[in-house]
DNA sequence: CTGAAAGCGCTAACAT
DNA sequence: ATGTTAGCGCTTTCAG
């Protein structure tokens, strides 16, 4: 940098107070006289002084940095989370360090802890499906690292998780289809190793159950949350002797695959087959017909997670331990219409 | 953290050398005896010692952190860049701090500089279209901040930019359409304030020119890189008395909009109209028909940018000042077929 | 409410 | 090739 940056000392001497006082002002301590504070703030502005985060971190043992750990193929989801977290970070003077990882490596926990320690992160936010890894959470907890997981079930203490009620949302979608008159509804799952897959399937079954229906085993296809898997499962469901009038695919990728499978077979969506997805990806709006889907308030979830994390960091345990659960909502579009 | 982390001092005493020597080992200084180095490294491993990045930063005036500044709606693009940058960061021991911003604010430069200074970032990577802001680049340069811009033209010194040859790519696409027998080709631009829009349009014209054609003004629609704009421009081009047999939309969003416009008008893609896009977004593969498009090697560009940035930081000027230009490549899919 | 001084853990002159 | 030591800029006891 050309003109060396001002230090706390410059601010102190120019405002005629001690370093300690400037530090108090920076850290919003209430123990400063109003006149003093104002004066100091003025000098800070004049000098365009910015506290050195590293020095603050070294001395105060906090970095004002949060980390984000994930292994998720959905770029839009990641982007939404980043923005949600950053909205809160900005208010509170934090920065965000990103850390995509490989959830299938056996050194994941160690590696993640290394990440946190190296940068002295004040806390981390963990996205699904990595968030479902209890070994990782345990490792972090053990090391005294603050963390919050984004998940679809309460797999941790309230201060460590923000929940999306996927189960309820899936049930809503099932009811939506049901209310459109569909009685033979196919369902395509994600990988059953993921909580979200289980929850969504359970929600689907909950709803059928409510109407006195038993989820027909032959109408449930076990998929992978991918397009290819959607094509395959869609084909299988559609070639049934008694094919479904609607298919609820548990994410948009699967739904797009399902639509493709229908197209191949000359089954018209939505005229002959209603199709619903989950996630509200960009494709949902661009596909033809546009896709009825479920949108999780991802950005809001992320914001809650960041707030919770910062509350933990600040030791505001009452705030941190509030249970946060958000509810996704249904977005009806063209791909679902009344059954014939 | 429970068990306080080891410090350089612990490592020093346990390996029976001075702090300075440990520091040398950490920083890969060649001035250490082989035996000594080995011993120290062993202790480091045993203690699971990780140098404190903040202390390193404070003392050594580098943070080992890179920043990424952007205001881009394409989450996939951002994700690809982040991953490309991080691949290089990992090798070199850097972390990545993300910073989405609002490019339309007049305090952008100041705000961005604040970001860099606050966290003492060693450098930043700037994504388009923010990267086209010369005021920002000037401000950073002035402050002695290392930066690299991702762009589609050489709008800065070689050490400060990695270029994607959009012009060439657009020309390839035009030739592709031409070689399929299309002679009346519509073109939809992005916002002409963006270099990428200009470059792609120029590339398109270059190609026509090469075949002795003049780009017909009435076949050029000025759009916005959005789906809605694609629908609108598509409609306009298609209602021409002498409609095009192919439309080259300068990004995938526009192309999807164009396909929608064709659908509205009962024009079949690709039978009656070939449509091509640019970017290779996820939609390109999910649309029906799948979309012929252009893919920029985004991750590679990002990696080059990171390498270049780190070279600058390290003062390896020869490495930093190599001109980096990558060439996007055409991906033919179902949406473009021979003209009838 | 404010100030003086002791580090936080590391790098980099400066010795040896 | 290795050790000694003075900071980097800030927070935080501990006194006033």
What's the Å distance between residue A288 CA and nucleotide D9 C1'? 59
Quote the CA–CA distance of A308 and A314 in Å, as a whole number. 10
Quote the CA–CA distance of A189 and A199 in Å, as a whole number. 10
What's the Å distance between residue A59 CA and nucleotide C6 C1'? 11
Quote the CA–CA distance of B334 and B340 in Å, as a whole number. 15
Q: Which nucleotides of C are covered by protein (CB under 7 A)?
A: 1-13
CA distances from B18 to A238, A282, B23, B28, B104 (A): 73, 57, 9, 16, 53
CA distances from B31 to A40, B21, B23, B34, B37 (A): 47, 9, 11, 9, 10
Q: Please answer whether residues B67 and B121 qualify as being in contact, where contact means their C-beta atoms are separated by less than 8 angstroms.
A: yes
Quote the CA–CA distance of B303 and B280 in Å, as a whole number. 19
- Cite the beta strand spans of A278-320 per DSSP E: 293-295
Number of C-beta neighbours around residue B117 at 10 A: 19
Quote the CA–CA distance of A100 and B90 in Å, as a whole number. 11
Q: Please answer whether residues A287 and A68 qualify as being in contact, where contact means their C-beta atoms are separated by less than 8 angstroms.
A: no
Quote the CA–CA distance of A285 and A291 in Å, as a whole number. 6
A82·B100 Cβ contact <8 A: yes
Q: Which of A171, A169, A168, A146 has its CA nearest to residue A157?
A: A146
DSSP, res B4:
P
* Cβ-7 Å neighbors of strand C: A 16-21, 24, 30-33, 35-36, 55, 58-59; B 4-5, 7-9, 19-20, 23, 26-27, 49, 51-52, 55-56, 58-61
Quote the CA–CA distance of B295 and B318 in Å, as a whole number. 30
The string over B208-226, giving b where at least 16 C-beta atoms fall within 10 Å of a residue's C-beta and e elsewhere, is beeeeeebeeebbbebbbb
Query: Which of the nucleotides lies closest to A21 (Cα–C1')?
Result: C2
In tens digits, chain B (340 residues) has pLDDT values of: 334 678 998 898 888 898 889 999 988 888 888 888 898 999 999 988 889 888 998 888 889 999 999 998 899 999 999 999 999 999 999 999 999 999 999 999 999 999 999 889 999 999 999 999 999 999 999 999 999 999 999 999 999 999 999 999 999 999 999 999 999 999 999 999 999 999 999 999 999 999 998 888 899 999 999 999 999 999 999 999 999 999 999 999 999 999 999 999 999 999 999 999 999 999 999 999 999 999 999 999 999 999 999 999 988 999 999 999 999 999 999 999 999 8
Distance, in angstroms, between B5 CA and closest chain A CA? 9
B120·A53 Cβ contact <8 A: yes
Distance, in angstroms, between A223 CA and closest chain B CA? 18
Q: Which nucleotides of D are covered by protein (CB under 7 A)?
A: 1-13
Q: Tens digit of pLDDT for each residue in A6-15?
A: 899 889 888 8
- Cite the beta strand spans of A182-326 per DSSP E: 185-189, 220-222, 246-249, 274-276, 293-295, 324-326
């Amino acid at each position: 940098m050309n003109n060396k940056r001002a230090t706390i000392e410059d601010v102190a001497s120019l405002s005629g107070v001690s370093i300690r006082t400037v530090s108090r002002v920076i850290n919003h301590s209430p123990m400063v006289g109003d006149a003093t504070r104002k004066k100091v703030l003025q000098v800070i502005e004049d000098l365009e002084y910015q506290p050195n985060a590293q020095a603050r971190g070294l001395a105060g043992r906090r970095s004002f940095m949060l980390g984000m750990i994930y292994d998720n193929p959905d770029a839009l989801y990641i982007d939404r989370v980043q923005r949600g977290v950053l909205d809160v970070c900005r208010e509170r003077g934090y920065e965000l360090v990103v850390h995509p990882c490989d959830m299938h490596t056996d050194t994941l926990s160690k590696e993640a802890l290394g990440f946190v320690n190296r940068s002295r992160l004040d806390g981390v936010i963990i996205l699904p499906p990595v968030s479902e890894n209890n070994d990782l959470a345990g490792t972090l907890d053990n090391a005294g690292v603050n963390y919050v997981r984004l998940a679809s079930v309460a797999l941790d203490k309230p201060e460590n998780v923000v929940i999306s009620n996927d189960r309820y949302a899936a049930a809503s979608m099932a009811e939506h289809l049901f209310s459109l008159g569909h009685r033979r509804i196919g369902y395509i799952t994600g990988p059953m190793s993921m909580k979200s897959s289980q929850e969504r399937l359970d929600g689907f079954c909950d709803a059928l159950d409510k109407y006195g229906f038993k989820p027909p085993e032959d109408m449930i296809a076990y998929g992978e949350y991918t397009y290819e898997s959607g094509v395959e499962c869609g084909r299988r469901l559609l070639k049934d002797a008694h094919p479904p009038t609607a298919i609820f695919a548990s994410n948009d990728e699967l739904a797009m695959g399902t639509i493709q499978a229908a197209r191949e077979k000359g089954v018209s969506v939505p005229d002959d087959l209603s199709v619903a997805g989950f996630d509200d990806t960009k494709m949902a709006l661009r596909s033809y017909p546009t896709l009825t889907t479920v949108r999780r308030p991802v950005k809001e979830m992320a914001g809650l997670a960041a707030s919770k994390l910062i509350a933990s960091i600040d030791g505001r345990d009452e705030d941190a331990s509030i249970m946060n659960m958000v509810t996704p909502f249904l977005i009806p579009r063209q791909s679902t219409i009344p059954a014939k």
